[in-house]
Structure 1
Amino acid sequence: MIRRKLVAGNWKMNGNRAALSELVAIAAAARPDVDVAIAVPATLIIPAVASVPRLAIGGEDVHPADHGAHTGCISAAMLKDAGATFSVIGHSERRSDCGETDAEVRAKAEALHRHGLAAILCIGETLADRQSGRAVEMVVRQLIGSLPSQAAPDWLSIAYEPVWAIGTGHTPTATEVVEMHGAIRATLRDLIGGDAAVVRLLYGGSVTADNAAQLLHAGDVDGALVGGASLTAATFVPIMNAAQPANAGAGRFSRAQQNNAVDHVIAAQA
């Protein structure tokens, strides 16, 4: 089964209105055979959607509650009202800096689904896990604990991000990525059955123009979640280009998908 490549950017705590020109350049370079999505800080969602209406814009986190006394947080309803179509959840920086548990990440995914938004669910092992030979065990445990009810490929993607590779310039070998994605796919098959074959698995962790082609075309890698290299068109567009497949297929991540459109896509590019 062919799954369309998804290249998603995560700006983290970076960017201001002046940086929106980079989104315009990224949108201009987008091609119809690769899906592109950018998660931006909450302050930029509304102007980003206005600047690049043809690009999928998302949040970087969401609170599991729909509303309430949660100062400084943002709900799925708020993300949707701002024009976002998805959110990143469970990023290792949230898990480590904010102490997020698998149960909390699962609740966040379910909140997004309640409001018709998509989720990019992050999982990944630490360097200690990798060095002890427990990498697969830890990632599978995280996936089982974080996977939301009603998990389905029309709204959920999984991003494997080894913690030790994020922002370090170090990446696992293509063989190690393929091994991990195989374990993730097998676990999904046990948990959700046949739909597991359609869920897109992204790789994240120091993805650059130099290593993108090798990583993106390794077996069972359906795209990338890109951090620092997504901040400028000059560094992000080459990764988008490296993702170009020989043939287009099903499984897109788009605004139409968020509205439950018939073709279920995640980043519609006209």
Structure 2
Amino acid sequence: MAVTSTSLASQLSIGLRPHHPSPKLDSLSSQSLSFFDPNIRLSVSSPKPSRTVIAMAGSGKFFVGGNWKCNGTKDSITKLIADLNNAKLEPDVDVVVAPPFVYIDQVKTSITDRIEVSGQNSWVGKGGAFTGEISVEQLKDLGCKWVILGHSERRHVIGEKDEFIGKKAAYALSEGLGVIACIGELLEEREAGKTFDVCFQQLKAYADAVPSWDNIVIAYEPVWAIGTGKVASPEQAQEVHIALRDWLKNNVSAEVASKTRIIYGGSVNGGNSAELAKKEDIDGFLVGGASLKGPEFATIVNSVTSKKVAA
């Protein structure tokens, strides 16, 4: 699919441009994004009657994760699980929920097999004398298939550094867990035009450490949009996602750029998910507060239907 972009810097109240834009990044604001590999696109430019395709730049399945963070009680989670078990979910979506560690067993033993379970964090190596930490082995023992790493709250509240997060991801992958690898810029970094610089640096820390990208989903979460009610516009999110995919193409491989799912997080809800999902490089969502409401989370999962283009 041919992709074009108007000059977003003139449309957005918070700019995306780096201080010293390279010709490549500066061309993001031009009329054509022709430097991106057209092979990464799934072309739907030649319509044929009665055919439906998913208009996604990546070749992976739509992915929606629910990060419950430090929320919930046994009773509230029982109700949430009942809502999720009764929800009608589109079949062509990978759906994952990440409860607090103490409730993983409750969730895993009662939630439908349609929904996989993730940890919210894991230790950088094998378990042992690390008070308060959670090991990859423990997550696997409880039936988890995924772990969220590099979330902004771990970076900016707990103080985890890029290299440490990359090592965590490498260990989790080596032990067979999928990784939801979070990246994203602070408000002051965006206002300073450093969005690309920050995101590429965080992405590089994963690339320098991980043995393979086969079980990685990248979650772009602008920190200024997490839990604030402020959401990156579809155009803002798409511009960053397409730049991330191009970075993967140039620094890892075209195959990884095509296969790796890049999802968006940051105040996603049932009211804005459909418009965000329409963007070609947005391959799903990592959802915070709205994932605690079963019917609304189902609406977000089912926003995959806005990606379906009759052709």
TM-score (norm 1): 0.87
Give the 3 Å change call, closer, same or farther, for CA 208–53 of structure 1 in structure 2. closer
Alignment of 1:132-211 (within 5 A): 132-147=192-207, 148-152=209-213, 154-193=214-253, 194-211=255-272
User: Which amino acid counterpart does residue 187 of structure 2 have in structure 1?
Assistant: L
1:207-236 Cα deviation digits (max 9, x unpaired)? 011110111121200000000000011321
Whole-angstrom CA distance in 2 between matches of 1:4 and 1:134: 30
Q: How many residues align?
A: 246
Whole-angstrom CA distance in 1 between matches of 2:278 and 2:231: 15
SS in 2 for 1:43: helix
Aligned to 2:51: none
Q: Which moved more, 1:161-170 or 1:179-188?
A: 179-188
Pair 1:126 & 2:192 matched: no
1:246 positional shift:
2.2
Q: Is the 8 A contact 2:150 2:181 kept in 1?
A: yes
Aligned to 1:232: 293
1:190 positional shift:
2.3
Q: Is the 8 A contact 1:9 1:38 kept in 2?
A: yes
SS in 1 for 2:230: coil
1:53 positional shift:
4.5
SS in 2 for 1:176: helix
Aligned to 2:148: 88
Q: Is the 8 A contact 1:151 1:192 kept in 2?
A: no
1:120-143 Cα deviation digits (max 9, x unpaired)? 000000111111111111111111
State percent identity of aligned pairs: 37
Instruction: State which structure, 1 or 2, has the greater radius of gyration over its C-alpha atoms.
Output: 2
Q: Which moved more, 1:41-50 or 1:234-243?
A: 234-243
**Structure 2 segments unaligned to the other structure (5+ residues):** 1-41, 43-58
1:28-77 Cα deviation digits (max 9, x unpaired)? 32221222100111111111110014110010000111122100100101
Aligned to 2:167: 107
User: Which amino acid counterpart does residue 246 of structure 1 have in structure 2?
Assistant: K
User: Which amino acid counterpart does residue 28 of structure 1 have in structure 2?
Assistant: N
SS in 1 for 2:70: coil
Pair 1:15 & 2:15 matched: no
User: Which amino acid counterpart does residue 32 of structure 1 have in structure 2?
Assistant: P
Whole-angstrom CA distance in 2 between matches of 1:140 and 1:15: 34
SS in 1 for 2:65: strand
User: Which amino acid counterpart does residue 10 of structure 1 have in structure 2?
Assistant: N
SS in 1 for 2:180: strand
